[in-house]
């Protein structure tokens, strides 16, 4: 009998966290590595949010709370859903967890049985397939193409649905591509889902507020109200409010599902950090003014990266609608060799050689289920981005 569970052998550690850790290790050893692999904004949590946390501590709000969140935060989430998404929820339909990650995980744990399939458009956020595997389900990745700007088509979704499909995971704007679905593109998908009443929708709206060039964010339950009863709308404060370390995410959906998620949380982690919950109340209820200048900064950085990487022969760089990632294709570089003799036969080889030979950390496309690509996170300073892209240009120019 092995000591470790057999379920564990089915999953791999997060490759994005591994890449970021490797870059940090090299930096600590004195190498001048530029990290473009982290999935978090580089700016600080806004002061009003920090102040709310300090005030919560001062007021003694430091004890256990209800396992899935304080009423004040659930109320703030309901107000946010109504304000931003035109969706009406009651506090009993809200679950607050330790980051968006936990709420997604709880929902899968609460619903998946052996043989249940979960459709995941690729490229996907690295954790979806492994979470599905941990919960005992079967991930079904469906590859979106670069030609369609990494968005799944209605025909692809239709073809992937089987009698065993339990969930369709939808993520827009997306990690790792930044691709955002327009209303018409999303409507085409929700029309398919209407024909398959056994399929539930898990919408991961984590990058909702990071949308550019006038892109209008939309979410499935809003686009197709008939799906409201089988949609879990997931979101969190991590990205828009630069609160990745505070660990607050949330989900809104049918009461029965929310109650099942609460049961899991009550027997695992209990409530998310009480102080962070009070900070999240301020994030959602307080000023949203900083979102606009932050987005202007992100657009500038996105355009800088796209311009510099587009100059590279053999690289194709689509322009994404949101998030803080670009996902260039390196199809034109596959088969080439670095001056040190490394053959770039995969995107993993590309990312490894880029780190070893040019001191730039990115994440290879295979980790996200679509190759040959790599993900650049542009949530870092203009100076660092310019230097990193210059290094990538030089590295690619030297390939033969
Ligand atoms: C698409 C997506 N969903 C969810 C999460 C999880 O966010 P959190 O840090 O709140 O757990 C991330 C974080 O990288 C993400 O990119």
For the chain, give the percent of residues with pLDDT over 70.
100
User: Ligand 1 within 6 A of 179 CB?
Assistant: no
Exposure of 301 in the CB half-sphere (CA atoms within 13 A): 27
141 - beta bridge partners?
Answer: 120
- Asked if residue 13 has pLDDT above 80, the reply is no
Q: Cβ-count burial of 349 within 10 angstroms (0-12 exposed, 13-18 middle, 19+ buried)? A: middle
Determine whether the shortest distance from the Cβ of 101 to ligand 1 is under 6 A: yes
Identify which of 396, 346, 377 has the alpha carbon closest to the alpha carbon of residue 20. Answer: 377
* Residue of 95, 104, 131, 238 best suited for mutating to test ligand 1, as the one with most atoms within 8 Å of CB: 238
Closest CA to 96 of 240, 279, 291: 279
> Which of the listed residues 125, 132, 233, 242 should we mutate to test ligand 1's pocket, taking the one with most ligand atoms within 8 A of CB?
125
The mean pLDDT of the chain is: 96
Section 216-239 average pLDDT = 98
Predicted confidence band at 8 (pLDDT cuts at 50, 70, 90)?
A: confident
pLDDT at 130 (0 to 100)? 94
Q: How many CB atoms lie within 10 A of CB 331?
A: 15
Checking if the pLDDT of 378 tops 90, the result is yes
Cα separation, 273 vs 279, in Å, equals 10
Buried-exposed string 369-383: b where 16+ CB fall within 10 A, e elsewhere? bbbbbbbbbbbbeee
Residue 120 has pLDDT above 90, yes or no: yes
Answer whether residue 15 shows pLDDT above 80: no
pLDDT tens-digit series, residues 72-86 = 999 999 999 999 999
User: Which of 236, 240, 280, 320 to probe ligand 1 with, by most ligand atoms within 8 A of CB?
Assistant: 236
Say whether pLDDT at 12 is over 90: no
Tokens of 172: 């827009």
Q: Which two tokens stand for residue 333?
A: 């570089």
Give the range among 20-24, 95-99, 122-126, 394-398 with minimum mean pLDDT.
20-24
**Does domain 64-285 bear CATH number 3.20.20.70?**
no
375 C-beta closer than 6 A to ligand 1:
no
**Tell me, what's the pLDDT at 17?**
80
d(C-alpha 153, C-alpha 171), whole Å: 14
pLDDT of residue 23: 87
Cα–Cα distance, 343 to 329 (Å, whole number): 17
Q: Report residue 368 as tokens.
A: 């996200």
Mean per-residue pLDDT, 191-215? 98
Quick one: CATH architecture of 6-44+290-398? Alpha-Beta Complex (3.90)
CB of 149 shorter than 6 A to ligand 1: no
Would you place residue 128 in the very low, low, confident or very high pLDDT band (cuts 50, 70, 90)?
very high
Residue 16 above 80 pLDDT? no
Q: Is residue 128 within 6 Å of ligand 1 at its C-beta?
A: no
Q: What is the pLDDT, as a whole number, of residue 14?
A: 77
The lowest-confidence range among 35-44, 46-55, 339-348 is: 35-44
- pLDDT at position 10 is 84
pLDDT confidence of residue 38: 84
CA of 253 to the centre of ligand 1 (A): 18
- From the list 186, 135, 115, the residue with the least C-alpha distance to 157 is 186
Name the band, by pLDDT with cuts 50, 70 and 90, for residue 19: confident
Residue with CA nearest ligand 1 atom 14: 39
**C-alpha–C-alpha distance, residues 16 and 368, integer Å:** 9
Q: Where in the chain is the domain with CATH 3.90.1150.10?
A: 6-44+290-398
Answer positive or negative: Cα dihedral of 90, 128, 186, 191: negative
Q: Which run of H or E residues covers position 204?
A: strand 200-204
What's the 116 CA to ligand 1 centre distance in angstroms? 23
Q: How far apart are CA 249 and CA 81, in angstroms?
A: 14
Does any ligand 1 atom lie closer than 6 A to the CB of residue 218?
A: no
**Residue 160 pLDDT grade (very low, low, confident, very high; cuts 50, 70, 90):** very high
What is the per-residue pLDDT for 181?
Answer: 98
**CATH 3.40.640.10 boundaries in the chain:** 64-285
What is the structure's pLDDT at 277?
98
Helix, strand and coil percent figures for the chain, each rounded to 5: 45, 15, 40
Cα 339 to averaged position of ligand 1 atoms, centre (Å) = 37
The answer to whether 341 and 349 have CB atoms below 8 angstroms apart is no
Judge whether 375 and 365 are in contact, CB under 8 Å: yes
Cα–Cα dist 131/127, whole Å: 6
* pLDDT over threshold 80, residue 112: yes
Residue nearest to atom 1 of ligand 1 (CA): 175
Angle at CA 263, nearest 5°, toward 262 and 266? 80
Over the stretch 347-365, which tens digit does the pLDDT of each residue have?
A: 999 999 999 999 999 999 9
In angstroms, the CA 49 to CA 299 distance is: 24
Helix H or strand E encompassing 220: helix 220-223
What average pLDDT does range 312-338 have in this prediction? 97
Asked if residue 213 has a cis previous peptide bond (ω within 30° of 0), the answer is no
Give the span between the Cα atoms of 53 and 16, in whole angstroms.
29
pLDDT tens per residue across span 274-315: 999 999 999 999 999 999 999 999 999 999 999 999 999 999
Torsions phi, psi for 372 (to 5 deg): -95, 115
């Amino acid at each position: 009998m092995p000591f470790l569970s057999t379920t564990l052998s089915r999953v791999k550690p997060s490759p994005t966290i591994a890449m970021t850790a490797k870059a940090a290790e090299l930096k600590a050893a004195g190498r001048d590595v530029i990290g473009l692999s982290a999935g978090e904004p580089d700016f600080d949590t806004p002061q009003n949010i920090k102040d709310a946390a300090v005030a919560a501590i001062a007021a003694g709000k430091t004890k256990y709370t209800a396992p899935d969140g304080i009423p004040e935060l659930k109320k703030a989430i309901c107000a946010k859903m109504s304000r931003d998404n035109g969706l009406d929820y009651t506090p009993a339909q809200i679950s607050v967890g330790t980051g968006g990650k936990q709420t997604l995980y709880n929902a899968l744990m609460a619903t998946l049985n052996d043989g249940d399939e979960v459709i995941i458009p690729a490229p996907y956020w690295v954790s979806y397939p492994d979470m599905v595997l941990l919960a005992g389900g079967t991930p079904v990745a469906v590859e979106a193409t670069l030609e369609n700007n990494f968005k799944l088509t209605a025909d692809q979704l239709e073809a992937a649905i089987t009698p065993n499909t339990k969930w369709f995971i939808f993520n827009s704007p997306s990690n790792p591509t930044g691709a955002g679905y327009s209303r018409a593109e999303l409507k085409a998908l929700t029309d398919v889902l209407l024909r398959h009443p056994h399929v539930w929708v898990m919408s991961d709206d984590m990058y909702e507020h990071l949308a550019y060039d006038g892109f209008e964010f939309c979410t499935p339950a809003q686009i197709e109200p008939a799906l409201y009863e089988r949609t879990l709308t997931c979101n969190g404060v991590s990205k828009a409010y630069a609160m990745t370390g505070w660990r607050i995410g949330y989900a809104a959906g049918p009461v029965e599902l929310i109650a099942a998620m609460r049961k899991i949380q009550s027997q695992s982690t209990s409530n998310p950090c009480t102080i962070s919950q009070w900070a999240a109340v301020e994030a959602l209820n307080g000023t949203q003014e900083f979102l606009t200048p932050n987005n202007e900064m992100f657009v500038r950085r996105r355009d800088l990266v796209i311009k510099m990487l587009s100059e590279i022969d053999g690289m194709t760089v689509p322009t994404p609608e949101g998030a803080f990632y670009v996902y260039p294709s390196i199809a034109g570089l596959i088969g080439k060799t670095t001056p040190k003799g490394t053959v770039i036969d995969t995107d993993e080889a590309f990312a490894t050689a880029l780190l070893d030979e040019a001191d730039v950390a990115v994440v290879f496309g295979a980790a996200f289920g679509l190759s040959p690509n790599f993900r650049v996170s542009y949530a870092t300073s203009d100076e660092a981005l310019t230097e990193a892209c210059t290094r990538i240009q030089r590295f690619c120019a030297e390939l033969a």
